[in-house]
Amino acid sequence: RAKHSGRSTFAWYTSDMDADAQKRKEIEEGLEKALRLNQFQILYQPQYSLSDNKLKGYESLIRWHHPTKGTISPELFIPVAEDCGLIEDIGDWVLFNACHEAAGWEDKSLRVAVNVSAAQFKPQETERKVAQALAESGLAPERLEIEITESLLIANTDAVVETLNKIREMGVSIAMDDFGTGYSSLSYLSRFPFDKIKIDRTFIRTLGQETSTDAIVTAIIGLGRSLDVQITAEGVENMDQVILLRAAGCDLVQGYLYGRPGQVSDAPSVHVGKMGPNNAAPDLLYESES
């Protein structure tokens, strides 16, 4: 009996892997096409200063509009792109287009943040591409922010830190994304002068509901203050979170409460709280929930 169940488990497991591999292959082939056929789009999610509710900039978030499957989430295709090497071309596309689009925004004080994944980061090449994107678009370097994650700093730290410093010397700011989820990491904070730390939304989600989360978020914000690093809270969805973040002295907020990823013209330059009953997030303004 044991043998039998072992075998059937194995069989089930393989067919599942086949389906997985098949799906990845499909995505991979689709991605090559997507680049050629211009099926990608950048949405922009607003970031507000918490103290005065003023719009400070946007994070660029890629979307893939598949001709038959509809819009595909980056959570699904970015990991595949990282594995098959297409992340470099996709990443270049985002960097150049985000810079071009931001250069055309009416308000020239607004920043644009671009996610650069560890798999796409190649020390000298990344530095050259950032410089090229700025030169070609005419975007002021101070308006560009590069978001990296802790995973980038694990391997090859010296070369990465050197490149980040060079990019920073251009005037571009560097943010650490998803802080607290990686292999933290406090040592990275002493090895590289980040301009910004983004607290991962898994911490923000349970803010006000768990004493431990409240303590961690408050501590990260305090750390930012002592290190003179700005702190952004990701995934802010309700007023309870805002109240706690304000009390803790958080600098910037980003989340559905303030605006979903969308068109830049849709985000007001000052956020006015227009919460519904129970401080529910505003209606889905730009992008439907997946």
Which residues contact Mg ion by CB under 5 A?
115, 147, 177-178, 234
Would you tell me how many other CB atoms lie within 10 Å of the CB of residue 64?
22
Residues in 162-181 at the binding interface with ligand C2E, rule: CB under 6 A: 177-178
Residue 101 burial (C-beta neighbours within 10 Å; 0-12, 13-18, 19+): middle
Token output for 16:
């599942």
Which 8-state DSSP code applies to residue 270? Answer: B
Which of 47/137 has CB closer to Mg ion? 47
Closest alpha carbon to 199 in 210, 144, 184: 184
Give min distance, CB of 111 to Mg ion, in A.
13
- Nearer of residues 90 and 275 to Mg ion, judged by Cβ: 90
Contact segment (CB under 6 A) with ligand C2E among 4-12, 71-79, 162-170, 266-274 equals 71-79
Near ligand C2E by CB under 6 A, which window of 23-31, 48-56, 73-81, 164-172? 73-81
Residue nearest to ligand C2E (CB): 255
According to the binding rule CB under 6 A, does residue 187 interact with ligand C2E? no
CB of 177 vs ligand C2E, minimal distance in Å: 5
Q: Residue 61 touches which of Mg ion, ligand C2E, none (CB < 5 to 8 A by kind)? A: ligand C2E
- β-sheet bridge partners, residue 149: 177
Residue closer to ligand C2E (CB basis): 11 or 280: 280
* Structural element, H or E, at residue 8: helix 2-36
145 binds ligand C2E (CB under 6 A): no
Distance CA 49, CA 47 (A): 7
Asked if residue 202 binds ligand C2E (CB under 6 A), the reply is no
d(CA 62, CA 90): 9
User: Does residue 253 touch ligand C2E according to CB under 6 A?
Assistant: no
Q: Which stretch binds ligand C2E (CB under 6 A): 5-13, 15-23, 232-240, 271-279?
A: 232-240
The strand ranges marked E within the chain are: 40-49, 55-66, 70-72, 111-115, 144-149, 173-179, 196-199, 230-234, 252-254
Decide if residue 263 touches ligand C2E (CB under 6 A).
no
Of 196, 209, 202, the closest CA to residue 252 belongs to 196
Site membership for ligand C2E, residue 235 (CB under 6 A):
yes
Q: How far apart are CA 59 and CA 122, in angstroms?
A: 22
Is the omega angle on the peptide bond into residue 185 within 30 degrees of 0, that is, cis?
Answer: yes
Q: What are phi and psi of 221, to 5 degrees?
A: -65, -40
**Would you say 150 or 177 has its CB closer to Mg ion?**
177
Which of ligand C2E, Mg ion, none does residue 75 bind (CB under 5 to 8 Å by kind)?
ligand C2E
Chosen residue from 55, 62, 174, 242 binding ligand C2E by CB under 6 A: 62
List contacts with ligand C2E (CB under 6 A). 45, 60-62, 73-75, 78, 91, 94, 115, 117, 147, 177-178, 201, 234-237, 254-256, 261
